Structure 1
Amino acid sequence: MRFTRILVGVAVLVVAVWILIGEQLAGVSADAVINARLSSVRAPVAGDVTLAPLSLGARVRIGDDLGSIEDARADTVRLADLEMEVRLEAAASARETSLVAWLQDQITALEARTLAYQSSREQELATRLERARARLELLEADPAGEAGDVPATLSQGQTENSGDPLLPGIALEYAKEKVSALEVELAALQSGVHLGDGYNDAPWSEQWRADLEARLAEHQSAQKEADDRLAAVTARLDAERLRVNRLTASPLRSSINGILWELRTESGENVQRGDELLKLVNCDSTIVTLSVTENIYNGLAVGDPATFRPQGHGSTFEGTIVRLAGSGAETVYRNLAVAPSTRHLERFDVAVDVPGLADDPDFACAIGRTGRVFFDARPLDWLRGMFDR
């Protein structure tokens, strides 16, 4: 019995020593902080800034309004010049359009006039030909002129000579000539060629229409050129308006999901292009930064597992080492929200990616929250796991 008690006591002592040594020798950080990258909002244009009514620490989402910049002194001289050019080109295009429409109306009217003239002229020639054939038939039926008075079928200057005698034979030949000439003239008219004293091959209305059609083609070409110039100047005007609008007024939008971390200006201040206005913490880039002793640091490697336990909280979060920056790693914190302490810089810097923080509402963007990071399994992890449930 006494021997059993001695064995149990020795076993308890060994377990206690093992737990103490295991807990103390386990790799653990001296300090750990939830950290994230900073994102600067800079002035896209020069002007007077107006910030949205947001307080420090306010949550923002992608596309949220952060304010605006306006500049009433933006240079609009080029915009005014282009607007004048557009008006001039529009006037030129309207003038050519009006001329083209007028010429088309005139050509249409002349086409109708030509058709009317041709129809009337055809009727005239048909009537004259009909009467000339009737006279020819009369002369052919009574070539000697016995049945009537020869002069009744003749006309003065029948052979283009006023001194010609009025003889039946000459009258017959004249009648045949008249019929043949009228037949030729009517056939030519029906084929589109106009014959007659003082005429060319087309009437005046058709000649004028041909001239107007040539002028129409010229002005249609000028109209297309004017429209092309108007379109080109209008495109330049639209681009200039966009440029001036960007110079005179520009909204400020959040490009990340995060929190307002720092104000570098106030509403009403005049800023220059590129000036830093705000700083936001990118909550989608949350990591845990920490420092360890040299012995622990030398035993770590990128990709090794790690466990983060927030201070004062029973939960633990699994993570992975993503950076080993060593001692004096001040420069790697220039774009992070929480800067390292002097004590931190005296040790060896480590960064751990902990994806589970983004899914926990208490730690999704708890920048500055502290805790500890463990790199080795410890004897009492099973007990801590029971409390974590």
Structure 2
Amino acid sequence: MSSNVTPKPLPTPDVSPETPVGAAAEVGALERLQRLNEEMRARARPEVVEAPKQRAPKRLGEKVNALRARRGVKSLIAIIVAVALGWYPLQRLLAATSAEATVNARLINLRAPIDGKVSLVAPSIAVGTEVEPDEPLLRVTNVRADRGRLDDLRRTVDGLRSEITVLSQRLGQLQGIEKDVIAQRNAFQEGRIHQLEAKAAELAVQITTAEAQHEDAKEALERSRKLRQSGSHTVATLLHAERDYKVSKLAIEAARIRLEGNKIELEAARKGLFVGDSYNDLPRSAQRLDEIRQQTVEVSSQLDERKARLAYLEKELVAETDLFTAHSHAIINATVRGRIWEVLTANGEEVRTGQDLLRILDCAGAVVTATVSEAVYNKLWVGQPAQFRLRGERQQYGGSVVGLTGLAAAGSNFAIEQTALTREPYHVTIAVPGLAARRECNVGRTGQVTFDTSASAANAEPARIMTAAAE
């Protein structure tokens, strides 16, 4: 059984005047949703279970508290952002910074080492061209270089070489003749030795014969004496027998003396000396050998002297050739890594010794030149740490102060003169290794230098000086 029961509306939440405007709008939306919900339920079911009271007001209070908490968080975040944004400019305002700073580098002047005509070696020597160390750029050729000394040395060396060739041939010929004469002398010596040995054998036979005759004469003498005593022989026969005995005895002594003389000749012949009545101490072949040997020694000494002179003059020729090459041809090489800053010559131009040809920017030795105020300048010292930042970049490059020139610009061949920086009168030079290590050449780019004037940096400098002095 159905009955028409009007659903009870939910209690309307109280909206106090302290409720925010956004919260009131949300409450109105909730009320409309609640009424629409009640209408839908009334159409669907005749009996509607009464919803628990005080539920909607509870949800509304939670929403209001959440909105208040969000507003508090947003306010705190806004305060933090405002403090952060304000602290960074304040910190930069209080820091010791440069008024003007630019990347700078020294110029390397390449001059002509000799007089001559310039020709290009590198593909291009236009301004801004990158160059590497020892890269050839230009060639200077001097066709009018003096080569008189070089030509004289070459003629002298050629003459000595010809003389050495002739003397070597002459020495070879003398050595060949010496061999032939030695063979001739040896043959004569050998024959003479054989001859003396044969004569010694003959004399030995003669001694034996003389001894036999002496024995015979001795026996004949004894017989003659016996026969004379018996009266069978005359006195003349006895005298003849005595004479034969004495002659045979002297014949033995003479043969022995000749044998002794033969032995002396034989020993001398074996030593290469020849004694006799018909020749001198040396035969003609031996004398000729001595002459050839003297000529060989003389030619050898001349050959050694020519070779020594040739060796000395060849060294002189090499040195003179190098000197002539240096005076006639010269290659102009880049001495550093960098860029061509200025070209002061042209292809085919005649130049003089010492004339400037090129100026190269030493990018590997880049530094930073800056100007600062008097107040900042009085806080600086050589070796003070600093940070450099290129304009438009965030990266910081560490460095240190290497020059404090004050009101006077540094007397150096910088590409950008320090007098061009006029915002402040005091000039400072900072070495920044990080810029020199970069491949690109940043000379001319501007930036800002921040100097470390803290107490720790100031105390570190005396300690560093004392450590360096101790080392």
**Offset of residue 25 of structure 1:** 3.6
Give the match's secondary structure for 1:256.
coil
Whole-angstrom distance in 1 between the partners of 2:89 and 2:364: 39
Whole-angstrom distance in 1 between the partners of 2:106 and 2:408: 19
1:258-284 CA-to-partner distances (Å, cap 9, x unmatched) read 222211111111111111111111122
Give the match's secondary structure for 1:344.
coil
Whole-angstrom distance in 2 between the partners of 1:40 and 1:105: 68
**Offset of residue 213 of structure 1:** 2.2
Instruction: Establish whether residue 53 from structure 1 lines up as the match of residue 129 from structure 2.
Output: no
Instruction: In structure 2, give the amino acid aligned to 1:371.
Output: G
Whole-angstrom distance in 1 between the partners of 2:383 and 2:330: 44
1:99 corresponds in structure 2 to 170
1:319–1:199 distance in 2 versus 1, CA, 3 Å: same
Please say if residues 407 and 427 of structure 2, whose CA atoms lie closer than 8 Å, have aligned partners that are also in contact: yes
Higher helix proportion, which one? 2
Of 177, 192, 211 in structure 1, the residue corresponding to residue 272 of structure 2 is 192
Give the match's secondary structure for 1:365.
coil
Matches within 5 A, 1:107-126: 107-126=178-197
Instruction: Establish whether residue 86 from structure 1 lines up as the match of residue 157 from structure 2.
Output: yes
Whole-angstrom distance in 1 between the partners of 2:143 and 2:415: 35
1:205 corresponds in structure 2 to 285
1:302-331 CA-to-partner distances (Å, cap 9, x unmatched) read 2222221111112222221111111241x5
1:57-96 CA-to-partner distances (Å, cap 9, x unmatched) read 2222221111211111111111111111112222333333
Matches within 5 A, 1:342-381: 342-344=420-422, 347-361=425-439, 364-375=440-451
1:370–1:188 distance in 2 versus 1, CA, 3 Å: same
**Bigger relative contact order (CA 8 A; separation at least 6):** 1
Instruction: Establish whether residue 70 from structure 1 lines up as the match of residue 141 from structure 2.
Output: yes
1:163 corresponds in structure 2 to none
Give the match's secondary structure for 2:422.
helix
Whole-angstrom distance in 1 between the partners of 2:82 and 2:262: 146
Please say if residues 97 and 448 of structure 2, whose CA atoms lie closer than 8 Å, have aligned partners that are also in contact: yes
Please say if residues 36 and 367 of structure 1, whose CA atoms lie closer than 8 Å, have aligned partners that are also in contact: yes
Instruction: Establish whether residue 267 from structure 1 lines up as the match of residue 371 from structure 2.
Output: no
Please say if residues 116 and 141 of structure 2, whose CA atoms lie closer than 8 Å, have aligned partners that are also in contact: yes
Whole-angstrom distance in 1 between the partners of 2:330 and 2:88: 63
**Offset of residue 172 of structure 1:** 6.6
Please say if residues 59 and 260 of structure 1, whose CA atoms lie closer than 8 Å, have aligned partners that are also in contact: yes
CA RMSD of aligned residues (A): 3.2
**Structure 1 range deviating more: 266-275 or 130-139:** 130-139
**Offset of residue 30 of structure 1:** 2.1
Instruction: Establish whether residue 24 from structure 1 lines up as the match of residue 100 from structure 2.
Output: no
1:353–1:276 distance in 2 versus 1, CA, 3 Å: same
Whole-angstrom distance in 2 between the partners of 1:187 and 1:16: 127
Instruction: In structure 2, give the amino acid aligned to 1:366.
Output: N
**Offset of residue 341 of structure 1:** 5.4
Please say if residues 118 and 189 of structure 1, whose CA atoms lie closer than 8 Å, have aligned partners that are also in contact: yes
Whole-angstrom distance in 1 between the partners of 2:81 and 2:344: 61
1:128–1:315 distance in 2 versus 1, CA, 3 Å: same
Instruction: In structure 1, give the amino acid aligned to 2:394.
Output: G
Whole-angstrom distance in 2 between the partners of 1:49 and 1:255: 18
Matches within 5 A, 1:126-141: 126-141=197-212
Please say if residues 100 and 421 of structure 2, whose CA atoms lie closer than 8 Å, have aligned partners that are also in contact: no
Please say if residues 28 and 375 of structure 1, whose CA atoms lie closer than 8 Å, have aligned partners that are also in contact: yes
1:207-239 CA-to-partner distances (Å, cap 9, x unmatched) read 222232233323322222222222222222211
**Offset of residue 116 of structure 1:** 0.9
Instruction: In structure 2, give the amino acid aligned to 1:40.
Output: N
Please say if residues 372 and 424 of structure 2, whose CA atoms lie closer than 8 Å, have aligned partners that are also in contact: no
Which runs of 5 or more residues in structure 2 are unaligned? Answer: 1-71, 218-246, 455-471
Please say if residues 327 and 345 of structure 1, whose CA atoms lie closer than 8 Å, have aligned partners that are also in contact: no
Instruction: In structure 2, give the amino acid aligned to 1:137.
Output: T
Which runs of 5 or more residues in structure 1 are unaligned? Answer: 146-167, 379-389
Normalising to structure 1: TM-score of the pair?
A: 0.79
**Offset of residue 176 of structure 1:** 5.2
Whole-angstrom distance in 1 between the partners of 2:184 and 2:423: 102
**Offset of residue 114 of structure 1:** 1.3
Whole-angstrom distance in 2 between the partners of 1:89 and 1:59: 52
1:321 corresponds in structure 2 to 401
1:219–1:377 distance in 2 versus 1, CA, 3 Å: closer
Instruction: In structure 1, give the amino acid aligned to 2:128.
Output: G
1:22–1:141 distance in 2 versus 1, CA, 3 Å: closer
Instruction: Establish whether residue 241 from structure 1 lines up as the match of residue 342 from structure 2.
Output: no
1:179–1:26 distance in 2 versus 1, CA, 3 Å: closer
Instruction: In structure 2, give the amino acid aligned to 1:102.
Output: Q
**Offset of residue 109 of structure 1:** 2.1
1:218 corresponds in structure 2 to 298
**Offset of residue 117 of structure 1:** 0.7
Identity across matched positions, percent: 32
